[in-house]
Homo-oligomer: A and B are copies of this chain.
Amino acid sequence: MATTNELSRSERKRRAILAAAEDLFLRNGFLGTSMDELAELSEVSKQTVYAHFGSKESLFVELVSSMTAGAGDGLHDHDEHPAPDGDVAGYLARYAADELAVVMTPRLLKLRRLVIGEVERFPDLARALYEHGPSRAIRSLAVTMAALAERGLLSVDDPIEAATTFNWLIMGAPMNEAMLLGDGAIPDAAALQRHAAHAARVFVAAYGVGDGTR
């Protein structure tokens, strides 16, 4: 079954092209990337690029869409253990730190910058990124919020509103700094954890049921 090395020739070429496209588009933008450049970096002829993806636009859309779809796929098994004891702040802090660790990544931040810069040209890609990113995270978080409220651990009227508030309490500062200051401004893991803990403390002070943190 292994043709020569696990992957068909065509598939290998295809992936090489996508890898090069990711590199170039994320670095130089849509207009700033040329197809000759791309073929060269892929170590593939330009014809092959056009055989696999019909046009520059198609390639761009396909690349960004696939990166977008798999963007927040590291965040699923949170609902497993929603605050075993009553330490809601600790649980939320861990939740926040996990999300931050996924999102505050050069690859995803570059993708976000790219898509934001191309909102006018590719509004659908931007909407897709919004749906698969923040919106998805918030919806998922809202479920957790509702569960915590049900157990009397949190006082939440509107789970979506609460989730939105928590989400941006977490993401707001680091995300917006990273957007403008570049990947060099990404806080290290320790700083992100401190930030997550602080956000959780603030949130619990507003939405907690009485104990808070102290």
Give A residues with C-beta under 8 Å from B. Answer: 27-29, 31-32, 113-121, 123, 126-127, 129-130, 134, 161, 164-165, 167-169, 171-173, 175-177, 179-182, 198-199, 201-203, 205-207
Complex partner residue of A171 from B117, B127, B172, CB under 8 angstroms: B172
Main secondary structure of the interface of A (DSSP, over half): helix
CA–CA, A115 and B177, complex, Å? 13
Contact A126 B28 (CB under 8 A): no
Complex partner residue of A31 from B31, B177, B199, B206, CB under 8 angstroms: B31
Copy count, this protein chain? 2
CA–CA, A195 and B99, complex, Å? 24
Question: If A116-B117, A117-B113, A182-B126 touch, does A164 touch B173 (CB 8 Å cutoff)?
Answer: yes
Question: If A126-B181, A180-B130 touch, does A32 touch B31 (CB 8 Å cutoff)?
Answer: yes
Closest residue of B by beta carbon distance from A127: B181
Contact B27 A120 (CB under 8 A): yes
Query: Taking the nearest CB of chain B, how far is it from the CB of A41, in angstroms?
Result: 17
CA–CA, A183 and B21, complex, Å? 29
